[in-house]
């Protein structure tokens, strides 16, 4: 009996252990291999897309993870290099239209991390030959809407496609997000400026000119607001009322001077109407009476 119990115990202990996600360690190992090998991922888009994911973002809001679930982008391991354009804060030059051939032939990769934790990213162990920065653009994502430079993963990829002239790829990529196409609309004018450039020097010059323009517009708005301060101008509503009352008083003055308006009648102490001497002359022989009815001689 003891021998049989030991055999049963050995059989139970030989079962594979399960991880925190409920799957066996062998299953988890296969899943990790599939994730990094790219099987089933990155094949649903005309151009090769990749990312180094450091799991620093909220999975529910992470645009990179959503693209991975859709099979559009694949994850790279730390230590792997990428042959295409790498959009990275570690880049030295900026994306320019001359990068189009590299984008179409080798694709684009991004670093999926939090802006608040950039110091934790081992940039020396990732990247590639063509690392690039993005020029000035404004975010349209739900986390950093309206903030310059703060693009998320899918915005960075779309920006790269748009600048090199592949606005079709940018639109296709952003269409998977409810707010996505708003990024192209928000930056439409500036993207068109970058598309007219050629190399990174011309893109940088266009970026500097744009930033200078924004600075000048801000200064003009500041001067205008200080010179047209509503508190210095006074009560606008009260001024409107005064203008109306002045016009009204002018009209009344004109009417009084004209002959078409009659003055209100005047009465004596007995209630008799006192006719104005301007309109009716009193005959010399007419008998006049005082307030008690006595004849005035």
Read off the pLDDT of residues 166-201 as tens digits, 9 standing for 90 and up.
999 999 999 999 999 999 999 999 999 999 999 999
Total number of domains constituting the chain: 1
255 in any annotated domain: no
Give the pLDDT band (50/70/90) at residue 243.
very low
291 in any annotated domain: no
pLDDT at 272: 64
Mean pLDDT of 103-129: 84
Mean pLDDT of 151-167: 96
Q: Higher confidence at residue 221 or residue 29?
A: 221
- Count of Cβ atoms closer than 10 Å to residue 144 Cβ: 16
204 in any annotated domain: yes
Q: Establish how many alpha carbons lie within 13 A of residue 120's alpha carbon, considering only the half-sphere containing its beta carbon.
A: 11
- Count of Cβ atoms closer than 10 Å to residue 177 Cβ: 20
Helix axes 153-163, 188-195, angle to 10 degrees: 50
Whether 132 contacts 91, CB under 8 Å: yes
In three state form, how does the secondary structure of 81-103 look? Answer: CEEEEEECCCCCEECCHHHHHHH
Give Cα 164 distance to the centre of its chain: 23
- Determine the Cα–Cα distance for residues 179 and 177; give it in Å rounded to an integer: 5
Read off the pLDDT of residues 200-235 as tens digits, 9 standing for 90 and up: 999 999 999 999 999 999 999 888 887 665 555 555
In the chain, how long is the greatest CA-to-CA distance?
158
Q: What is the mean pLDDT of the chain?
A: 76
13 in any annotated domain: no
Tell whether residue 111 is among the known ligand binding residues.
Answer: yes
Whether 130 contacts 92, CB under 8 Å: no
Give the pLDDT band (50/70/90) at residue 270.
low
- The percent of residues in the chain predicted with pLDDT above 70, rounded, is 61
pLDDT at 85: 96
Gyration radius from the chain CA atoms: 42
22 in any annotated domain: no
Q: Nearest 10 degrees: CA dihedral of 200, 206, 209, 211? A: -80
Tell whether residue 149 is among the known ligand binding residues.
Answer: yes
Whether 132 contacts 98, CB under 8 Å: no
- The percent of residues in the chain predicted with pLDDT above 90, rounded, is 43
Give the pLDDT band (50/70/90) at residue 267.
low
pLDDT at 171: 97
296 in any annotated domain: no
Mean pLDDT of 259-286: 56
288-289/295-296 β-pairing: antiparallel
Tell whether residue 134 is among the known ligand binding residues.
Answer: yes
287 in any annotated domain: no
Say yes or no to pLDDT of 123 above 70: yes
Residue 130 tokens, joined: 């063509």
Residue that is written with structure tokens 């739900």 in the block: 142
Q: Higher confidence at residue 249 or residue 234?
A: 234
Say yes or no to pLDDT of 60 above 50: yes
164 in any annotated domain: yes
In three state form, how does the secondary structure of the chain look? Answer: CHHHHHHHHHHHHCCCCECCCCCEHHHHHHHHHHHHHCCCCCCCCCCCEEEEECCCCCCCCCHHHHHHHCCCCEECCCCCCEEEEEECCCCCEECCHHHHHHHHHHCEEEEECCHHHHHHCCHHHCCEEEEEECCCCECCCCCCCCCECCCCHHHHHHHHHHHCCCHHHHHHHHCCCCCCHHHHHHCHHHHHHHHCCCCHHHHHHHHHHHHHHHHHHHHHHHHHHHHCCHHHHCCHHHHHHHHHHHHHHHHHHHHHHCCCCCCCCEECCCCCEECCCCCCCCCCCCCEECCCCCEEC
Q: Higher confidence at residue 257 or residue 268?
A: 268
Give the pLDDT band (50/70/90) at residue 92.
confident
Domain that includes residue 40, residue range? 33-222
- Determine the Cα–Cα distance for residues 174 and 195; give it in Å rounded to an integer: 19
Say yes or no to pLDDT of 122 above 90: no
Mean pLDDT of 20-47: 52
């Amino acid at each position: 009996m003891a021998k049989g119990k030991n055999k049963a115990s050995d059989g139970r202990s030989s079962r594979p252990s399960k991880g925190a996600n409920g799957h066996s360690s062998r299953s988890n190992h296969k899943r990790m291999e599939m994730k990094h090998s790219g099987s089933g991922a990155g094949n649903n888009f005309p151009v090769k897309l990749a990312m180094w994911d450091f799991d620093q973002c909220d999975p529910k809001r992470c645009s990179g993870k959503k693209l991975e679930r859709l099979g559009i982008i694949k994850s790279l391991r730390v230590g792997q290099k990428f042959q295409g354009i790498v959009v990275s804060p570690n880049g030295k030059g900026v994306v320019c239209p001359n990068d189009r051939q590299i984008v179409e032939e080798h694709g684009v990769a991004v670093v999926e991390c939090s802006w608040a934790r950039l110091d934790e990213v081992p940039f020396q162990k990732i990247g590639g030959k063509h690392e690039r920065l993005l020029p000035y653009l404004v975010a349209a994502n739900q986390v950093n809407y309206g903030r310059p430079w703060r693009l998320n993963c899918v915005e960075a990829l779309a920006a790269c496609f748009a600048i090199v002239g592949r606005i079709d790829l940018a639109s296709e990529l952003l269409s998977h997000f409810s707010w996505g196409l708003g990024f192209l609309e928000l930056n439409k004018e500036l993207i068109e400026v970058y598309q007219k450039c050629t190399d990174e020097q011309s893109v940088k010059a266009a970026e500097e000119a744009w930033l200078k323009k924004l600075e000048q517009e801000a200064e003009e708005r500041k001067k205008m607001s200080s010179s047209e301060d509503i508190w210095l101008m006074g009560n606008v509503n009260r001024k409107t009322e005064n203008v109306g009352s002045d016009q009204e008083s002018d009209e009344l003055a004109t009417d009084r001077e004209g002959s078409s308006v009659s003055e209100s009648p005047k009465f004596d102490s007995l209630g008799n109407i006192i006719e104005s001497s301007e309109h009716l002359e009193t005959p010399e022989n007419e008998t006049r009476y005082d307030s008690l009815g006595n004849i005035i001689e």
